[in-house]
Structure 1
Amino acid sequence: MKKLIFLWVLAFVSCATSKFDKVNGVSFVASGEELSQQHIDPVLDVQANYAAIMPFGFINEKNSSELFFNMDRQWFGERREGAKQYIEKLHQNGVMVMVKPQIWIHRGEFTGNMKMPSEAEWNKLEESYEKFILLFAELAEETQSDIFCIGTELKTFVKERPEFWKELIQKVRVVYHGKLTYAANWDEYAKTPFWSELDYIGVNAYFPLCEKQNPTIETLTQGWQPWKTKMYNLVKEVDKPILFTEFGYRSMDFTGKKPWLVDRNQEEVNLEAQARATQVLFDEFWNEDWFAGGFVWKWFMQHDKVGGHEDNRFTPQNKPAESIIRKQYAQVKESRL
C-alpha cells in the first residue's frame, strides 16, 4: 500500500512539474542606459521568471550582406557590454535569461524577406551572421544564461541556406552548453528544417485568430484551435516542446486579425481586447505539458513612462493585460512552491 501511495505521489509531482514549470517571460527591450534595480522591480512585480535580452545587428537593405553589430554608436543594451550588464543584473534578482540576438533592417523591413542576390553575397552574409551569433553565444556561456536563440524570423535565409544553419547550430553547441531555440515566425515554424537539432520549437505566436473588431473570449478560443492542433502535431513529430519566443497583442480594435502588425495605425485603443486575447492564450497553452511557456512582447525599461490607457501598441505595461499576466505568472509560481 505504501508503495502504491509513493507511486501516486511521484506521478502527481511529475505532472505538476510539467504543468507548472513554465517559462514566464518578458521580452526586455534594450535601452541606451544601464539596467538598475528600479527597472527590474516591475519585472519582479509581474512575477516573471525569465527575460529575453535582445542585442541587435543592423542591415541597410534586405538584399545587403553587410551586418553591423557591437558598435559604439548602438544603444548600450544592444551591444555585448550592455547585454552582459543586463543579464548579470537580472540573474542577481533571480530572473533567468534567454539571449536572443536579432537583426533590424533599415526602415523596419521584414527580416523574413531578406535574400541575397548571389552566392558570393550569401557567403558574405553567412560569415558575418556567424560572427554575430557566436559573439553572443559566447556571452551566453560566460554569463551562464539559460536559453540561447540562434535567430529571429529569418524565413528566406533558413529556406535558402539550410546547411549553413545546421553547421551554425553545431558551432554554437561548441561554445554554449545551455538550451537552444530559434524564433520562427508563425507562418514559417512548420517548415523550419532543424528543430530536431534544438531544444525548443521556438514560435513567434502572432497567429491570426479572427476578424472581429472586438473579439469575445469564445471567438478567440475558437480561432486558436486549428493552430494549436498543428503545433501539437509537430511536437509529436520532432519530440520537442513549443516555446513562444514572442507572444502578445496590440491594445486596439481588431487585435486578433493581424497580430503581427507593428505599424502606427489609427485603430481605436481597445484595452479589454488585448486583455481577453492574452487570457485566452494563457488558458489554451499554459496547462499543456508539451508547451514550455513564452515571452510577452514587449517590456520596456522605463515602466512608469510607457503603455497606459491611451496606447494601442504591444506593451501590456500599465494596462489591464499587465494584471492578466501577473495573475497567470503568480499562479504558476505558487503552484511550484
Structure 2
Amino acid sequence: MKTSKRYFLLFLFLQLSCNSQIKKINGLSFVASRDKIDTTHTNSVLKVQSNYVALMPFGFIKELSAPKITHNTNRQWFGETKRGLLQYAKEFQTKGVKVMVKPQIWVWKGEFTGNIEMDSEEKWTILEQSYSEFIFTYAKAAQEINADILCIGTELEKFVKNRPKYWQKLIIEIRKIYKGKLTYAANWDEFKRVPFWGEIDFIGVDAYFPLSDKKSPTVKELEIGWIPHKEEIIEVQEKFSKPILFTEFGYRSVDFNAVKPWESNRVEGRVNLQAQVNGLQAIHNQFWKEDWFAGGFVWKWFHRHDEVGGLKNNRFTPQNKPAEELIRILYQQ
C-alpha cells in the first residue's frame, strides 16, 4: 500500500471515530421565575460549562382526580408561561446553550403527579383534551424556538398506564407540530413500564434511584449501589435501542441523601456538602462514559445565582457549594 493511501485511510478512520463520539448533554434544570432573564442570569450556567438547559413551563391542576389543567395564564410566574419560555430560550440560545422544553404539571398541595388518575371515563376524556391543549402549546413553542428536545410529559405513571392509546396518538400529533427530538421523563421506578419508548427518541429517566442507607456514603459505595439499577437501565436500553437520557438527576446536600434521593418535601436534616459531591461524582463515573448514554440535567438551577444555595443549604441546588465546582470540572471533560 502506498504511503499516501495509508495516511488517507488513517485520517478517514480518525474522522469517523471522532464523529461517532457525540458530545454528552451536560444539562441544568433551569427553574422558572417571576422575572425575565438576561446575561447576569445566564452567566452562571456558562461558567459551569453546561451546554443544555431544561426550561420548564407549568400547568396546574387542583387535585389528583381533577381533569382540567390551567396553563399559560397571566396569573402564573413569567417563566412558567409561553412568553417566559420564549424569552428564556432566546437568552440561552444566543449564548450557544441548547434547550430542552420540559412542560410539567403541579398538583396543588404538592401531590405526586404520578398519582394523577381519573375516576370516570368522562373525566379521562376531559383530562386528555386538556393535556393535549397544554402540551401542544409548548410543542408549537418548541418548534418556534427550534428547541433540540421536547419532553412530552413528566412523571405521569398512572395517566400513562391507564391511557396508553391516548399517548400513542399524542406522540403522532406532536410530531406533526414539532420536528425535533422527543423524550418522556419517567420516574426512576416507572421507566421499565413505559409502553411508548419505541415511538420517541430518548428513554428519559428521572434518576433518583435509592443507592445507600448510609449517612454519608463514599463514591465507591454509591457506585456499588448503582449496579442493580444500571443493569435494569441497560436492559430497557437494549430492548428499544434508544439512548438513555437522565431528564433529572441530583442529590441534596444532606445526611442520608442516597436513601430516598427523590424526597424534596422536607427541609430538616444536617447539611452534608460532601454527600452531594459524592453522589454527583458516582453517577458521572457510572454513566457518562457509556456510548448508549446521552447525558442529563442536574436538578436544579436558579436564576439569581448569588442569592441561592451556599454552605448552609441542604437542598438540591449545587449552587455556591463544592458541588458546583465539581459540575464545572465534570462538564468540561
Aligned amino acid, residue 117 of structure 2: K
Q: Relative to structure 1, is the Cα distance of residues 16 and 277 closer, same or farther in structure 2, using a 3 angstrom cutoff?
A: farther
In the alignment, the residues of structure 1 paired with residue 141 and residue 11 of structure 2 have an alpha-carbon distance, to the nearest angstrom, of 40
Distance 2:144 2:72 in 1: 17
Q: 2:181 aligns with which of 179, 182, 187?
A: 179
Question: How far off is 1:75 after superposition?
Answer: 0.1
Distance 2:22 2:195 in 1: 29
Name the residue aligned to 1:295. Answer: 297
Q: Deviations over 1:134-190 (max 9, x none)?
A: 000000001101100000000000000000001000000000000000000000001
Instruction: Indicate the SS of the match to 1:27.
Output: strand
Question: What CA distance in whole angstroms lies between the structure 1 residues aligned with 2:11 and 2:266?
Answer: 52
The residue that corresponds to 2:207 in the other structure is 205
The residue that corresponds to 2:79 in the other structure is: 77
Q: Bigger shift: 263-272 or 216-225?
A: 263-272
The two structures have a TM-score, normalised by structure 2, of 0.97
Between the aligned partners of 1:16 and 1:286, the Cα distance in structure 2 is: 16
| CA distance 1:330–1:61, shift in 2 (3 Å) | same
* 3-state secondary structure, aligned to 2:324: helix
Q: Deviations over 1:255-290 (max 9, x none)?
A: 111000012242110000100110111111111100
Q: 2:157 aligns with which of 151, 155, 170?
A: 155
2:170 alignment partner in structure 1 = 168
Partner residue in 1 for 2:275? 273
Identity of aligned residues (%): 53
Equivalent position of 1:43 in the other structure: 45
> Which of 217, 225, 228 does residue 227 from structure 2 map onto?
225
Which of 305, 330, 333 is equivalent to 2:332? 330
Given the alignment of the two structures, is residue 127 of structure 1 paired with residue 129 of structure 2, yes or no? yes
Amino acid of the structure 2 residue aligned with 1:187: D
Counterpart position of 2:307: 305
Aligned-partner SS, 2:332: helix
Give the letter for the 1:244 counterpart.
Answer: F
Shift of 1:217: 1.2
Q: Residues of 2 paired with 1:320 and 1:11: CA distance? A: 40
Which among 252, 259, 274 is matched to residue 250 of structure 1? 252
Give how far 1:18 is off: 4.6
Q: Pick closer, same or farther for the CA change 1:191–1:225 going to 2, 3 Å.
A: same
Q: Which amino acid aligns with 2:310?
A: G
Consecutive unaligned residues in structure 1, runs of 5 or more: 332-337
For the Cα contact (< 8 Å) 1:33–1:76, is it kept in 2? Answer: yes
Number of equivalenced pairs:
331
Rounded Cα–Cα distance in structure 1 between residues aligned with 2:20 and 2:155: 28
- Residues 1:323 and 1:128: Cα distance change in structure 2 (over 3 Å): same
DSSP-derived class of the 1:283 partner: helix
> In 1, Cα distance between the equivalents of 2:67 and 2:202?
28
Within 5 Å, give how 1:66-105 maps onto structure 2.
Answer: 66-105=68-107
Other-structure match for 2:139 = 137
Instruction: Identify the range of structure 1 (16-25 vs 101-110) with the bigger mean alpha-carbon deviation.
Output: 16-25
How far, CA to CA, are the matches of 1:75 and 1:67 in structure 2? 16
The CA distance in 2 between the partners of 1:107 and 1:266, in whole Å, is 19
In structure 2, relative to structure 1, the CA distance for the partners of 1:307 and 1:13 (3 Å cut) is: farther
Shift in alpha-carbon separation, 1:12–1:167, aligned structure 2, 3 A: same
Q: Where in structure 2 are the equivalents of 1:106-117 lying within 5 Å?
A: 106-117=108-119
Amino acid at match of 1:91: Q
Unaligned runs of 5+ in 2: none
Contact 1:162 1:193 in 2 (8 A): yes
Structure 2 counterpart SS, 1:250: coil
Secondary structure of the residue aligned to 1:24 is strand
1:30-89: per-residue Cα shift (whole Å, max 9, x none)? 000101110000000010000000000000101100110001010000010011000111
Structure 1, residues 72-121: CA drift from partner, whole Å, max 9, x if none? 01000001001100011111111000000000000110000110010000
